[in-house]
């Protein structure tokens, strides 16, 4: 048929959103092959269109692994919104559970709907009106109405106090008592809303939104990566006659002291309680997953360095 599709299943070590490696045999092919990082790339702008003005708050909730319920008009909207939320903190891996389309037939139905314990760290997408009453005690609820692409400015849902969520309240909105740690950046929402007025293509809008979220996550994670590197033993401490030295343990207090001179303010214009956000992040499954993976990578790097030094010593 004249078309060759080569697919690679990502491994657990691949970073989210990373492009696949180019193969040398493809370099001279004409026309040049098109490489897609994923089979289906979400229209991020379309997914977040009704809640654009709350994108920063939702980013914080996902970063902290908070329990969220998305009530949507259809399984498609539900699934795409959940996947957009989990990808909003990329390249940081979302380490909590998430269900793009949750129903009463799921095995965890009783566990997630009980009122005898706090909701788990999970993001659920639902469409059944039955869940309006069942999940009314969850801390963060997003209700999305039918999307109408009329070309005008979409009606932005409001943040409503959780106490105002009535059993039969079907009005779109974000129901939460959460207060953001960072001050809202209105520049992004104004830029995207102006793009709707000027009929800017959705692909361009999504690229703007994705870049903003990427830069926000990188500003948050770079100080952590910088501090983590400082925990590695010096290369001169690695000798062929001893076991490789241990990586120093992660100290939250020590890390907090580094923020004054090498914190997110170096790469982000956002003001607010960054220290409070980090403190909350340290108690989330996302930090635990990130730290475990990075510690494993650093340990492997240290072991490889030790083996290299041993080989050089005996050769």
**How confident is the model over 173-224, as pLDDT tens digits?**
899 999 999 998 888 888 888 888 899 999 999 999 999 999 999 999 999 9
pLDDT at 68: 97
| Residue 71 scores a pLDDT above 50 | yes
pLDDT confidence bin for 290, thresholds 50/70/90: very high
pLDDT at 189: 83
Provide the mean pLDDT of the chain: 85
> Which of the two residues, 185 and 299, has the higher pLDDT score?
299
SS3 (DSSP) at 211 = helix
**Rounded Cα distance, 271 and 230, in Å:** 26
> Which of the two residues, 25 and 238, has the higher pLDDT score?
238
Determine the average pLDDT of the residues in 86-95. Answer: 95
Compute the CA torsion angle 227, 230, 231, 236 (nearest 10 deg): 170
Determine the average pLDDT of the residues in 153-179. Answer: 66
pLDDT at 157: 57
Burial 56-82 (b: 16+ CB within 10 A, else e): bbbbbbbbbbbbbbbbbeeeebbbbbb
Cβ–Cβ under 8 Å, residues 67 and 137: no
| Residue 118 scores a pLDDT above 70 | yes
| Residue 36 scores a pLDDT above 80 | no
| Residue 255 scores a pLDDT above 70 | yes
Contacts of residue 223, Cβ cutoff 8 Å, sequence gap at least 6: 255, 258, 259, 262, 263, 264
């Amino acid at each position: 048929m004249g078309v060759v599709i080569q697919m690679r299943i990502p491994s657990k070590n691949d970073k989210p959103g990373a492009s696949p490696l180019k193969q040398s045999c493809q370099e001279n092919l004409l026309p040049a092959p098109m490489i897609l990082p994923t089979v289906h790339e979400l229209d991020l702008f379309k997914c977040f269109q009704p809640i654009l003005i709350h994108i920063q708050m939702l980013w914080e909730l996902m970063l902290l692994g908070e329990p969220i319920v998305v009530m949507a008009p259809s399984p498609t909207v539900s699934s795409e919104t959940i996947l957009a939320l989990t990808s909003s903190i990329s390249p940081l891996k979302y380490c909590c559970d998430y269900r793009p389309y949750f129903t009463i037939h799921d095995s965890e139905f009783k566990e997630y709907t009980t009122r005898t314990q706090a909701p788990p760290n999970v993001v659920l997408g639902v469409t059944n009106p039955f869940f309006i009453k069942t999940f009314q005690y969850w801390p963060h609820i997003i209700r999305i109405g039918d999307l109408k692409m009329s070309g005008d400015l979409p009606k932005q849902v409001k943040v409503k106090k959780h106490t105002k969520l009535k059993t039969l309240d079907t009005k779109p909105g974000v129901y939460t008592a959460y207060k953001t740690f960072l001050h809202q950046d209105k520049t992004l929402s104004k830029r995207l809303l102006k793009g709707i007025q000027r009929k800017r293509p959705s692909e361009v809008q999504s690229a703007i939104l994705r870049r903003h979220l990427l830069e926000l996550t990188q500003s948050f994670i770079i100080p952590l990566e910088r501090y983590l590197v400082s925990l590695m033993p010096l290369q001169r401490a690695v000798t062929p006659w001893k076991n490789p030295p241990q990586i120093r343990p992660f100290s939250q207090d020590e890390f907090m002291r580094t923020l004054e001179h090498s914190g997110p303010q170096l790469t982000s214009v956002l003001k607010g309680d960054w220290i409070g956000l980090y403190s909350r992040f340290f108690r989330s499954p996302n930090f635990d997953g990130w730290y475990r993976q990075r510690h494993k990578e650093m340990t492997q790097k240290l072991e490889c360095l030790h083996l290299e030094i041993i080989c050089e010593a005996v050769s």
